[in-house]
């Protein structure tokens, strides 16, 4: 069954905020209130570097894409910041429809790559991404394993040059 997929507009900010809030809370992650997320997404979408794809009539899920100019090509890099499908809609092809629409929209906007970060235990998402041709191997199946690293940057660290605000 084909899923209705569409680009979000500023009028969708409240439902986007609710979906993002539900996503984080489902995994016991802290999240700002849905209204705060809605306003932030409204601002980001207005800036033109963030695009949100919605699926289903509820909507039942979303994909949040972030764009930036690439260094190694004249195209754009696209990062899938969030992919979420409401639990009741999982296993029905909503995630695949969102990903196919996200890839299409990224290409239309001039992106020549799409990056995704996914947690190791999230086997369902990893299978989806791999079934769509994504890999975590540099240069393809035989290449070395790629890693994504992340660190919170809450404030300056004493003793690290360039980070001391008094400095």
Number of separate domains in the chain? 1
148 domain-assigned: no
Confidence of residue 150 (pLDDT cuts 50, 70, 90): confident
100 domain-assigned: yes
Residue 134: name the closest of 83, 60, 59, 68 by CA.
83
149 domain-assigned: no
Which tens digits make up the pLDDT trace of 58-95? 999 999 999 999 999 999 999 999 999 999 999 999 99
48 domain-assigned: yes
Q: What integer best gives the mean pLDDT of the chain?
A: 91
153 domain-assigned: no
154 domain-assigned: no
Which residues are CB-neighbours of 7 under 8 A, at least 6 positions away?
51, 52, 53, 54, 105
**Domain holding 124: CATH number?**
3.40.630.30
Residue 29 belongs to domain spanning: 5-131
pLDDT of residue 148 exceeding 90, the answer is no
122 domain-assigned: yes
115 domain-assigned: yes
Under 8 Å between Cβ of 37 and 31 = yes
């Amino acid at each position: 069954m084909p899923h209705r997929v569409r680009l979000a507009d500023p009028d969708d900010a409240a439902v986007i905020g609710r979906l993002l809030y539900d996503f984080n809370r489902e995994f016991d992650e802290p999240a700002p209130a849905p209204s705060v997320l809605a306003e932030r997404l409204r601002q980001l979408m207005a800036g033109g570097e963030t695009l949100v794809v919605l699926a289903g009539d509820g909507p039942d899920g979303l994909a949040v894409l972030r764009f930036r100019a690439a260094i190694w090509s004249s195209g754009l890099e696209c990062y899938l910041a969030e992919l979420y499908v409401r639990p009741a809609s999982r296993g029905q092809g909503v995630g695949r429809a969102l990903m196919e629409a996200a890839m299409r929209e990224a290409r239309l906007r001039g992106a020549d790559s799409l990056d995704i970060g996914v947690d190791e235990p999230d086997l369902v998402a990893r299978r989806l991404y791999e079934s769509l041709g994504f890999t975590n191997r540099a240069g393809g199946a035989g290449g070395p394993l790629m890693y994504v690293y992340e660190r919170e940057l809450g404030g300056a660290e004493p003793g690290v040059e360039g980070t001391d605000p008094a400095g």
